[in-house]
Structure 1
Amino acid sequence: MEEQIPSSVIDKPKVLLVDDEESILSSLRRLLRGQPYDVLLASSGAQALEIMGQHPVDLVMSDARMPGMDGATLLAQIHQRHPATTRILLTGYADLPTIIKAINEGQIHRYISKPWNDEELLLTLRQALELQHSERERLRLLKLTRLQNEQLKTLNATLEKHVVSRTAELQQTADMLDLAYEELKHSYVTGTEVFSLLANLRLPPAKQTNRQIIELVRVYCKRHGLDEGSSRDLTMAAALYNIGKLSWTDSMMITPSDLLHHIDRDRYRAYPKQSESLLMTLDPMKDAARLILHHQERWDGSGFPDRLKGEAIPFGSRLLKLAVDFIELQRGLILERQMNSDEALVYIRQYAGRLYDPDLIEDFIQVCAAFLSDVTLADPSVKVLTTRELAPGMILARNLNADNGMLLLNAGKVLNGPLVDKLIAFESMEGAKYSVFVKVPEEEEGGILEVG
């Protein structure tokens, strides 16, 4: 039976706080006083489930460590019984197994460490509820669209034009959403890129790395003609190489690895293994997980976790280390000084034969040069067009994203007439203006030649 979405989409959102310590509940209640939420309190998992059986709840924030039923178990049960409720884990422990269980079984939105920062906690709650509201609105629009489509079948032919004109905007939105989700469903690689946002959420924009590493790896794979399987594994490894850092504190996340000491340094050296452990249960991720496990090995054998040396290190791991270090050096995540791209390449060349495979260095530097100069635009068959200049047969050279970041179409998609029309309509509805990177096999002086 489909769960009823809480009615608090219109009313004030209901937030349920769960903790066995009365002092924590009191602190949270004081913090949320004056916020536009109805706050409910529970001192145990059982009491929380009882409350949720009586009231529609929009968001549950639960402590991880509680007697009887811990937070991960509670959130997993809420996920099964009330999937529309957003779930957040509150923990004062660096308890990776509990966090993994909450992610895998409870499908949590975020976890927050104790002691929390008041402003960050309030921001997290507000963003989670806004995201939840947006998703409910999307479902409402999709349901309304399907209902109107059924009504269209029963209307008189003289009313069809009137009905179509009134539902056109909704239909266009639903079509583009369905198209985006269909593309995601058929692309496991795209799914890992979306999942990699979990790590990026823990970092300020200037410290985020995943997107640049993914694109750099893709450029390498394309230039060297790597087979589809190897390219897919490398791309997924680039997307999720740092997922094992999710249990770190915020300060540790942005501290250069060269400045870490004692316990923090030991935790840093453990992150490739933790990343691999999180991904090994997913069968399509096993090969990518192995690349992640060994991407901090060093050519001279001084790396971690297994001190592999030379060609005993998987090729993909050697390449991933080059890409990770090249980007992280520029983000100030390795050394205290933040390098520019040229300095980062000089550093990599300096440590050839010690940290890096010496046979890969010069070739990798050439790939970086192409990457930095925009390898897409360097291809003479690639053009940047508006949506109204698109023609059937053109092939997307880059992912096309909406202004809000939503993926519309994957690179490699072959355009057809209906798809171009939908892009134009969606762009008009959003009030946006997209620059679309496409491959055009042929050109004439009078303009772009339409290819079928």
Structure 2
Amino acid sequence: GYAEIDATIDAINKGHIYRYVSKPWEDNDITLTIRHALHQKQLERDKQRLEELTYRQNEELKELNASLETKVSARTEELRQTMGFLEAAHEKLKQGFITSIRVFSNLVEMREGGMAGHSRRVAELSRAIAWQMGMKEADVQDVFLAALLHDVGKIGFPDYLLEKPFSTLTAEERGAVIKHPAKGQTALMALEPLHNAGKLIRSHHEHFDGSGYPDGLAGLEIPLGARIIALANEYDSVQLGTLLSKHLKQADAMLFIQDGRGRRYDSAVVDAFIAVMGANTETAPARPEQALHSEQIRPGMVLSRDLMTKQGELLLSKDYRLDELLIGQIRNFEQLGDKLTLYVYEKKQAQA
């Protein structure tokens, strides 16, 4: 009966059969039904194919993302290492350049007898004052280099004139001496990295009140670096006896500088100088320094002080990292009869 037919149709439909057609049927109806069934089947296949394609593409995208992250991470690490190598190379070049300047400065002083070490002391004090005054690193570097070379214009001076106090010079001798700052700047003209230092060298004998030389500049017309070097230079010179007709002790030299506040020297520079001198034992935590002979030093140790001969000649500047070649050269030098003491520390390697 009809109940059995309805149950049969329901069972067929639940079995995912496209359609049940009962007799009798029209040919057009059955043709249309078959066509619809084929179309439906094609749609199902297309849907399944698209779902599988989407799944595969999603999986490939996941793998690509994971691979890309790995590649980016690897490339980033390569760039970091490359930057580290470049920074190390730059630092080595900079250190080598500064050492060359210090050696050249030392060669200038070799003619000056009792003046040996003067430029080095002026450079160290000038750098400390520049840092105290908040100057930028590049400007501090210019101050340091200019201070090392501030007397380069005296290379052509006769020996007797190098140590003669300025206050005892004849008019003719003074005429020669006041030209040495400008000559010093000219001597460095061909060295582009020292152009800024050359400007400071030219003005390092200018006085804040305008009474200096060679250009008679006054006040803020004088570059700050030159104002700093002027004070540091004269602080050392009055102790050596090359500025006045007598040698001053350190305490008297400090009083001489303070008496020149606002006249010979910029008051702000004097204040920074006093701060540096008052804090010279607190500037930095002490390194675990060792005093060793050449047979005790090892590659990788770093000089904590300048390596000087007994005659005050600079061999290597402080912060220089020693290697086997340098150690061998130091030992060869000692065979000439000059036994050296090296002040060193061991620099810890940065953790990766």
TM-score normalised by the shorter chain: which range applies? 0.5 to 0.7
User: Against the structure 1 CA distance between its residues 403 and 420, is the aligned structure 2 distance closer, same or farther, given a 3 Å change threshold?
Assistant: farther
User: Against the structure 1 CA distance between its residues 380 and 313, is the aligned structure 2 distance closer, same or farther, given a 3 Å change threshold?
Assistant: same
Mapped contact 2:309–2:340 kept (Cα < 8 A)? no
Indicate which of 339, 347, 356 corresponds to 2:248: 339
The equivalent of 2:148 in structure 1 is: 239
How far did residue 208 of structure 1 move? Answer: 5.2
Mapped contact 1:184–1:190 kept (Cα < 8 A)? no
Mapped contact 1:207–1:332 kept (Cα < 8 A)? no
Indicate which of 398, 402, 407 corresponds to 2:305: 398
The equivalent of 1:202 in structure 2 is: 111
Indicate which of 354, 376, 379 corresponds to 2:284: 379
CA RMSD of aligned residues (A): 3.6
User: Against the structure 1 CA distance between its residues 430 and 293, is the aligned structure 2 distance closer, same or farther, given a 3 Å change threshold?
Assistant: closer
The equivalent of 1:121 in structure 2 is: none
Mapped to 2, the partners of 1:337 and 1:222 lie a distance apart of 31
Say whether residues 1:257 and 2:166 are aligned partners.
yes
The equivalent of 1:20 in structure 2 is: none
Which letter does structure 1 place at the counterpart of 2:272?
D
Taking structure 1 as the reference length, what is the TM-score of the superposition?
Answer: 0.49
Indicate which of 180, 188, 195 corresponds to 1:279: 188
The equivalent of 2:343 in structure 1 is: 436
Mapped to 1, the partners of 2:208 and 2:105 lie a distance apart of 27
Mapped to 2, the partners of 1:232 and 1:386 lie a distance apart of 28
Mapped to 2, the partners of 1:395 and 1:326 lie a distance apart of 30
User: Against the structure 1 CA distance between its residues 207 and 234, is the aligned structure 2 distance closer, same or farther, given a 3 Å change threshold?
Assistant: same
Mapped to 2, the partners of 1:286 and 1:335 lie a distance apart of 31
Which letter does structure 2 place at the counterpart of 1:245?
K
How far did residue 385 of structure 1 move? Answer: 2.0
Percent identity over paired residues: 29
Taking structure 2 as the reference length, what is the TM-score of the superposition?
Answer: 0.61
The equivalent of 1:190 in structure 2 is: 99
How far did residue 299 of structure 1 move? Answer: 0.7
Mapped to 2, the partners of 1:216 and 1:398 lie a distance apart of 15
User: Against the structure 1 CA distance between its residues 213 and 439, is the aligned structure 2 distance closer, same or farther, given a 3 Å change threshold?
Assistant: farther
How far did residue 436 of structure 1 move? Answer: 2.9
Mapped to 2, the partners of 1:425 and 1:291 lie a distance apart of 35
Question: Which shifted more, 320-329 or 273-282?
Answer: 273-282
Structure 1 unmatched runs, 5+: 1-181, 442-449
Mapped to 1, the partners of 2:151 and 2:329 lie a distance apart of 38
Structure 2 counterpart SS, 1:361 = helix
Higher relative contact order (CA 8 A, sep 6+): 2
How far did residue 184 of structure 1 move? Answer: 7.5
Q: Give matches, 1:126-165, under 5 Å.
A: none
Mapped contact 1:244–1:272 kept (Cα < 8 A)? yes
Mapped contact 2:106–2:314 kept (Cα < 8 A)? no
Mapped to 2, the partners of 1:413 and 1:194 lie a distance apart of 13
Task: Determine which structure has the larger strand proportion and give its number.
Answer: 1
Mapped contact 1:301–1:310 kept (Cα < 8 A)? yes
**Larger C-alpha radius of gyration, 1 or 2?**
2
